[in-house]
Every structure is written in C-alpha cells, then in structure tokens.
Amino acid sequence: MKRLAWGVGLGLALLALAQPFSLERMQADLRALLAQGPRVAGTPAAAAAAEYLAEELRRAGYSVEFQSFTYSRTRDLGTGLWVEGEALPAVGVAGSPAGRVEGPLVVVPGAGLAADFAGLDLRGAIAVARRGGIPGLEKARLAAERGARAIVLLTEEPSGTRFTFGGQSPIPGVTLGRREGEGLLGQAGARAVLEVRIASEEVRGRNVVAWRSPSAPRVLVGAHYDSVPGSPGANDNASGVVAVLELARTLASSPLSEAVWFVFFDGEEDGLWGSRRFVEDHPEVVRGLRAMLNLDMVGVDVNGSLGIGGSPELRVLADCGAVQAVCGGAPGGGSDHVPFAQAGVPVLFFFRGLDPNYHRPTDTTADPRLLAQTAQVVQGVLERLLPLRP
Ligand SMILES: [Zn+2]
C-alpha cells in the first residue's frame, strides 16, 4: 500500500472536521430498506426504496431527481430439470428462450472453454458445462453450434442463484449449484428433461440522482439499490447504498459535496441498466468526470479486507491505513462502474466479496461498522482527488 504523506495529514484533519458517520442512522436506513422486501426493479418495493432515499437526501440538503428508463426483462415462471426422473433445483438463466427439451446428458470436459467444445458431438443432447472462464452466452452458442438442444451451467454458487446471459441465448439454459451439479458430471448419457418457463415483461426503472450544485460534477459516487427476486438484498446492495447515503449526509456541509453527484442505480441486477442509461443520457456529465466510485456488497467481511479494484491512478489515493482498514483487490467487472469505465472514466470499485447469502433469501444482514469504514475510505479518496476551496 502506497501512503501519501500529504494525503494522510489532510485526510485526518478533514476527518476530524467532518461529522462522524452514525452507526445508528445507518442501522435505521438498513431497517427501512429491508422492510420493503426484495427491491426488484419495477416493483412497489423498489419504488418505496427510491422514495425513501430521495427523502433522506433532500433532508440532508440535496436536490434530487429521478431518472426514469424502461427495458424488457425475462421472468422465471417455474423452470425444471429432471434426470432419470429425479427433479433437480435448476433455475432459468435470464436471456434463455422458453421451451421443453428431452435428451441425453453430454458433459463438456474441462472448464468448458471454447477448446473443450472442439470435436464434441452434441446433436440432440443437453450439454452440461462448468460456468466460468468464458461468458455463459458463449458456451450456449458453442453448444448450439454442435447441435445441443439445451445447456446446464454448473456454478460455484449454491443452487437458486440467479444469472443472466446478458443477451439472447439460442438454446434454453439453466444453472445448477455445485452440490447438486457435481452429480451430473458422472451421469453422461442419462436421460434428462429440461423445461425453461420464462416470460418477458416491460420494466420501468428509476435512478435516484442527487447533487448540492447542479454544475457538472467532478466525481460521481454510486451504488445500486435494486435486488433480485426472493432476496432482501441487505449486503447486495443495501450495504453500498447506506454507506453512500451516510457519506452524502456527512459531506453535505463540506465544499467537497459541491463537486460530487450521488447516484443510486436501479436495474443493476437485470444487466446494469441504470448505470448504462445514466452514461447514455448524460454524456456531458460523464465527459467531465475525474472519477466514478462504486460501492457494491461492502457490509459482510468475506475476505478480511475491503476489496478495491479499478484504475491504478485512483487506487493509490485510497489510504486504508489512515482509517485502520485492511484493503485488498477486487475484480474488474460485474457492477455499475463498468459502463463508466467503458466510457473512459477512471473508476474505483469497492467490494468485500460474494458472501454465502449472495442472491438468496438469507441476505438479511450488513454490518454498519463495515459500512462506516468503507465510507471513510471513499471520503479519503474524495479529499485527495478534489482540490479544496476555502
Ligand atoms: Zn450487487
């Protein structure tokens, strides 16, 4: 960890001036968001969450606007996988066509990379491949090219975890978790029935955008507030939202807040819709950004450290030692900073890792102390990044 001597002194001085982060207030925010139930984009729960966030931001002195957008989403109406008559807990992958397919299982060897498909005869088969290495959509296309009628992707996550192809798959696809999926690897040739029942629906999403000064911001701090069906989304991602909200409150009386916009994104879980629309609809704002800081899943200590990924020139501004935080790395993709990075904006991604409750009904807790620590690190980055005015 590189430590900037001038940054430490400045950071500590400002930290002393700023209001402390309130653990009680963050706990109350978490309770309020979780009380809505799963905040699936386009549902009343998501709408209520957006209203709550807007109200809290206004109360803290911010101007707030909703940015509305629409997109189409597939909904799972009951997907099934039966192998030799035994039902397995498969889940349809968003972007899969609906349909019922019967055929023998054929296992794609290795990690299921492009080379592993070479020479395979999948005609009439239901392909079984491990997820990862290359996108699931590419595996579905490779399987379809070799004649497969459907694909089962085996994931490291527990069964029931929801995934998206991020595009339209040519054949029906389902996922199965490690525990149930391992058994399939030894069942090549077994008769299987796979049925994906999926419907398409129009979703109206809303980003919550807040600022103290309407002039173009230098930095955007964001977190997605939507969650997946069936999951209360405490760590994913009420945690990031509450950390950003508390940071916004704390900075409201500081000149720093005049150079920052705070954005709560909707539709992240369905494919980064909110952040993609923000980037599309605000080209002038995006052009002027020196940084986009994104917080996702920062309320459960999975790795014993706060993961920070993104642009190296911003990464060195994160002085974790100054706030007694242990920091590590984070993956480059998977959340709302991606569309900004693709538009050329330097980004940082704050992420503590996938916890065992990820996208499950048991995602019900986030630790306010971890949120406060994350918000402190983010505040330090803002202080080092933005020139101070008296
Ligand atoms: Zn998330």
**pLDDT 10s digits, 89-141:** 999 998 899 999 999 999 999 999 999 999 999 999 999 999 989 999 999 99
Q: Ligand 1 centre from 120 Cα, in Å? A: 36
Neighbours of ion ligand 1 (CB under 5 A): 236-237, 296
Give yes or no for a contact between 205 and 266, defined as CB atoms under 8 angstroms apart.
yes
What's the confidence (pLDDT) of residue 77?
86
Q: Ligand 1 centre from 123 Cα, in Å? A: 37
Q: Ligand 1 centre from 25 Cα, in Å? A: 22
Judge if 5-73+202-385 and 78-196 fold alike in CATH terms. Answer: no
What's the confidence (pLDDT) of residue 264?
98
Q: Ligand 1 centre from 119 Cα, in Å? A: 38
User: pLDDT below 50 — which residues of the chain?
Assistant: 1-17, 389-390
Q: Ligand 1 centre from 296 Cα, in Å? A: 5
What's the confidence (pLDDT) of residue 368?
97
What's the confidence (pLDDT) of residue 20?
84
What's the confidence (pLDDT) of residue 12?
47
What's the confidence (pLDDT) of residue 1?
31
Q: Which candidate, 222, 307, 299, places its Cα nearest to that of 267?
A: 222
What's the confidence (pLDDT) of residue 259?
96
Q: How far apart (Å, rounded) are the C-alpha atoms in residues 244 and 295?
A: 8
What's the confidence (pLDDT) of residue 316?
95
Which two tokens mark 263?
A: 């954005």
Domain ranges in the chain are 5-73+202-385, 78-196
Task: Quote the strand ranges of the chain, DSSP E.
Answer: 63-76, 80-83, 86-88, 91-92, 99-107, 126-130, 150-154, 173-176, 191-196, 198-211, 219-224, 260-265, 291-295, 306-310, 327-328, 347-351
DSSP for residue 277: H
Q: Ligand 1 centre from 98 Cα, in Å? A: 26
Q: Ligand 1 centre from 301 Cα, in Å? A: 15
What's the confidence (pLDDT) of residue 210?
98
Q: Ligand 1 centre from 224 Cα, in Å? A: 7
| 165 Cβ neighbours under 8 A, 6+ residues apart | 93, 94, 95, 96, 135, 136, 137, 140, 173
| 226 Cβ neighbours under 8 A, 6+ residues apart | 39, 40, 41, 46, 205, 233, 265, 266, 267, 268, 269, 270, 274
Give yes or no for a contact between 127 and 108, defined as CB atoms under 8 angstroms apart.
yes
Give yes or no for a contact between 107 and 83, defined as CB atoms under 8 angstroms apart.
no
Q: Ligand 1 centre from 329 Cα, in Å? A: 17
Q: Ligand 1 centre from 335 Cα, in Å? A: 7
Phi and psi, residue 350, nearest 5°: -100, 125
Q: Ligand 1 centre from 263 Cα, in Å? A: 14
Q: Ligand 1 centre from 202 Cα, in Å? A: 21
CATH number of 78-196: 3.50.30.30
What's the confidence (pLDDT) of residue 275?
97
* Residue 356: strand pairing partners: none
Q: Ligand 1 centre from 233 Cα, in Å? A: 8
What's the confidence (pLDDT) of residue 105?
97
What's the confidence (pLDDT) of residue 323?
87
CATH number of 5-73+202-385: 3.40.630.10
Tell me the H-state helices in 89-177.
Answer: 114-117, 136-145
